[in-house]
Amino acid sequence: MENIALVVGSTGITGSNLAHELLSEGWTTYGLARNPNSNISGLIPVKADLLDIENLEKALENISPTHIFFTTWMRNDTEEDNIKVNSALVRNLLNVLSPKKSIRHVALVTGLKHYLGPFEAYAKSGFLPETPLREEQPRLEYPNFYYAQEDAVYEAAERDNFTWSIHRPHTVIGYAVGNLMNMGTTLAVYASICKETGRKFIFPGSSAQWNGLSDVTDAKVLAKQLIWAATTETAKNQAFNITNGDIFRWKWLWVKIADYFQIEFEGYKNEIRPLEQELQNDQKLWKDIAEKHHLEEGNLYRIASAWHTDLDLGRPIEVMTDMGKSRNAGFTTFKSTLDSFLDLFDKLKKEKIIP
């Protein structure tokens, strides 16, 4: 039976890397986005707005996917709005496709906010989730759009009789341009600015993140788990953490990144020094760097998302996940985190995103 994938959010880090992996394995693959990319050979672009049902119906009129991979979300000002909008994204898509009865599996990518909750959960109330984070940990009492998205999948699965999987990565590291949550590229751009100007590469996060254990998720590892769960009976109707499989401390990795770029670094010193403030006046500087080195993107804010990096590295707790559940179920893909970053930096240089 032919596998026909619809990757929702195909321009993002997760979606674009997943599309590459699906195509390499011979899947017919559609990539849905508001502004689809056309630089992935073999990917069939679908231009659609998930909040516009009439537009969505027209865009999917002749498409009957067997597998949905939902890899996108929309950032809003409040969690109440996040819940309303992001659950609608999932529900609208599955409602529009429901009459076709073609869907066999839906995979939803969320993240560790499932366990951590909003910032106030652990910063203001004193709540500290037990680490390593495990899939059986219960939902928190705080409003969370991840829960709303999951519920939309569960409701449609019961109605339309398809299987599902939920995937919870930590920070996703991978190649994508114009993505709004891209720590790897953000740090590469910051390091490039430091090299160009002689500034020190200053760790922007907390003492807990600098000294504590952490992990991240390579986008290619996530892609492999998504396909594995969609095609493995024992993995269906399950939620899985997904990281590279190793752990590290930022005090170790920060030095390695600085060594790659041949720049001076400075670790945590008594206070959080947000990257958003560090880069706030660097747009003109980056434009000049881009012109000098003939780079592809001169808009700093299209390639660097300092706010997201600050949220991750500013956490007042160490954060790492347990991979035992998917390992026991047969998913064994592993990637060195240092290699994830260095491979990305090499790719960014090759594609003329950084000098």
pLDDT in tens, the chain (355 residues): 799 999 999 999 999 999 999 999 999 999 999 998 778 999 999 999 999 999 999 999 999 999 999 999 998 989 999 999 999 999 999 999 999 999 999 999 999 999 998 766 665 555 678 899 999 999 998 899 999 999 999 999 999 999 999 999 999 999 987 666 789 999 999 999 999 999 999 999 999 999 999 999 999 999 999 999 999 999 999 999 999 999 999 999 999 999 999 999 999 999 999 999 999 999 999 999 999 999 999 999 999 999 999 989 999 889 999 999 999 999 999 999 999 999 999 999 999 999 9
Q: What pLDDT, on the 0 to 100 scale, is given for residue 179? A: 67
Active-site option among 30, 113, 175, 224:
113
Amino acid letter at 58?
A: K
User: What percent of the chain is helix, strand and coil (3-state, nearest 5)?
Assistant: 45, 15, 40
Q: What pLDDT, on the 0 to 100 scale, is given for residue 37? A: 74
Angle at 267 between CA 262 and CA 270, to 5 degrees: 160
Concatenated DSSP letters of 207-261: HHHHHSEE--EEHHHHHHHHHHHHH-GGGTTEEEEE--S--EEHHHHHHHHHHHH
CA 28/CA 42 separation, integer angstroms:
8
CA 114 to chain centroid: 14
Q: What pLDDT, on the 0 to 100 scale, is given for residue 240? A: 98
Q: What pLDDT, on the 0 to 100 scale, is given for residue 1? A: 78
| Integer CA distances (angstroms), 27 to 10, 42, 67, 147, in order | 15, 10, 10, 29
b/e per residue 34-55 (b: at least 16 CB within 10 A) = eebbeebeebbbbebebeeeee
Is the distance from CB of 215 to CB of 170 less than 8 angstroms? yes
| 113: annotated active-site residue | yes
| 335: annotated active-site residue | no
Active-site option among 30, 115, 146, 190:
146
Q: What pLDDT, on the 0 to 100 scale, is given for residue 120? A: 62
Q: What pLDDT, on the 0 to 100 scale, is given for residue 107? A: 98
